[in-house]
A and B are shown apart, each in its own frame.
Chain A
Amino acid sequence: MTAKFLNSALGAALLLILAGLANTCVHAPEPIPVPTEEVPEETVTAPNVELIKEPLAPAVHSLLRKSQAALEQKNLEDAEAHAERAYRMEGRDYRVLFMRARVSLASGNTEDAEQWAQRALGSLPMKYKEHRRQTWEFIARARALHGDDAGRDAALQEARSIR
Chain B
Amino acid sequence: MRLSVSRDKLRFLLRLWPVPVVVLSAFCAIMLYQMDGIVREKFEGKRWRLPSVVYARPLELFNGAPLRDEDLEMELQELGYFKVKDPLQPGEYGRNGDKFDIQRRGFPFWEGAEGTTRIQFRIVKSRVADLMQNGEASELSRLDPMKIGGIYATQKEDRKLVQLKQVPKYVIDALIAIEDRDFYDHFGVSVKGISRAMWTNLKAKRWVQGGSTLTQQLVKNFYLTPERSIKRKFTEMVYSVLLELHYSKEEILETYINEIYLGHSGDNAVHGFGLASEFYFGRPLEALSLDQAAVLAAIANGPSFYNPARYPDRVKKRRNKVLALLLEDKKITKADYEQARKQPIKVRPSLRWTPNRFPSFLDLVRRHLDRDYQNKDLAEEGLRIFSTLDPIAQVQTEKAISDFMRRQGKSAGKLQVASVVVSDSGEVQAVVGDKVAGFQGFNRALDAKRSIGSLAKPVVLLAGLSDPNKYTLATHISDGPVSIPLSSGQVWEPQNIDYGDHGYVSLLTMLTQSYNRATVRLGKELGMKRVKDTFRKLTGSSEIPDNPSIMLGALSMSPYEVAGMYYPFFSGGYRTDLKAVRGVQDHDGKRIKAYPSKSIKIYEPSVIHLMQYAMRAVIFEGTGRSAFSFMPGDLTAAGKTGTSNDQRDSWFAGFTGDKLVVSWVGNDANDPTKLTGSSGGLHVWAQIMAKVSHKSLALNAPPGISYQWVDNATGLLSSSDCQGVRYLPFVGDSAPKQSVPCPVLPEPVSPDQPPATTTQEPAMLDWLFKLMQ
How distant is B380 from chain A, measured CB to nearest CB, in Å?
7
Tell me the smallest distance from the CB of A90 to a CB of chain B, in Å.
9
Q: Which of the candidate stretches B317-325, B595-603, B671-679 sits at the interface with the other chain?
A: B595-603
Contact with B along A118-146 (1 / 0, CB 8 A): 11001000100000000000000000000
**Which residue of chain A has its CB nearest to the CB of B381?**
A29
**CB-CB contacts below 8 Å: B36-83 with A:** 36-37, 40-42, 44-46, 60, 62-65
List residues 87-139 of chain B with CB under 8 A from any CB of chain A. 110-112, 139
Cβ-defined contact, A59 with B241, below 8 A? no
Q: Which of A25, A32, A59, A63 contacts B593 (CB 8 A)?
A: A32
What 1/0 flags go to A17-36 for Cβ under 8 Å of B? 11001011111011010000
Q: Does B200 belong to the interface (CB within 8 Å)?
A: no
Cβ proximity bits B183-205 to A, threshold 8 Å, 1 near / 0 not:
00011000100000000000000
Asked if A153 is an interface residue, CB under 8 A from chain B, the answer is no
A95-126 toward B: CB 8 Å interface, digit per residue (1/0)?
Answer: 00000100000000000100110110010001
Which chain B residue lies CB-closest to A103?
B596
DSSP majority for the B interface? Answer: mixed
| Contact among A14, A26, A84 with B45 in the assembled complex (CB-CB below 8 Å) | A26
The answer to whether A17 and B112 have CB atoms under 8 Å apart is: no
Binds A, one of B306-314, B419-427, B541-549: B419-427
Nearest A residue to B244 via CB reads A7
Q: Which residues of the partner chain B approach A29 to less than 8 Å between Cβ atoms?
A: 377, 381, 586, 592
Tell me, rounded to whole Å, the shortest Cβ–Cβ distance linking B738 to chain A: 28
Query: At the interface, yes or no: A10 with Cβ under 8 Å from chain B?
Result: yes
Evaluate contact between A24 and B425: CB separation under 8 angstroms: no
A63–B702 Cα distance when bound, in Å, is 26
Contact assessment for A27 and B63 in the assembled complex, using a CB-CB cutoff below 8 Å: no
When C-beta atoms are compared, the residue in chain A nearest to B44 turns out to be A24
* A interface residues, how many (CB within 8 angstroms): 45
User: In the assembly, what is the distance between CA of A119 and CA of B604, in Å?
Assistant: 10
- Bound together, the chains give a CA A146 to CA B346 distance in angstroms of 61
Check A81 against B586 for contact (C-beta < 8 Å): no
Q: Mark contacts of B369-380 with chain A using CB atoms, 8 A cut-off: 1 yes-contact digit, 0 otherwise.
A: 000000011001
- Residues from chain A with a CB closer than 8 A to the CB of B110 are 81
Closest A-B pairs by Cβ, 8 of them: A59-B62, A24-B41, A59-B140, A7-B187, A24-B45, A122-B605, A81-B111, A58-B139
30 inter-chain pairs at a CB distance below 8 angstroms, sorted by A residue, are: A7-B241, A7-B244, A11-B245, A18-B37, A24-B41, A27-B376, A27-B380, A32-B592, A57-B64, A58-B63, A59-B65, A61-B139, A63-B140, A80-B594, A80-B596, A81-B111, A84-B582, A84-B597, A87-B425, A88-B60, A88-B427, A89-B62, A91-B423, A100-B597, A112-B598, A115-B599, A115-B601, A119-B572, A122-B572, A122-B573
16 extra interface residue pairs, beta carbon distance < 8 Å, beyond A17-B32, A18-B40, A58-B140: A7-B245, A13-B29, A14-B242, A17-B29, A18-B37, A23-B44, A27-B376, A32-B593, A58-B139, A59-B60, A77-B591, A78-B111, A87-B425, A91-B424, A115-B601, A119-B572
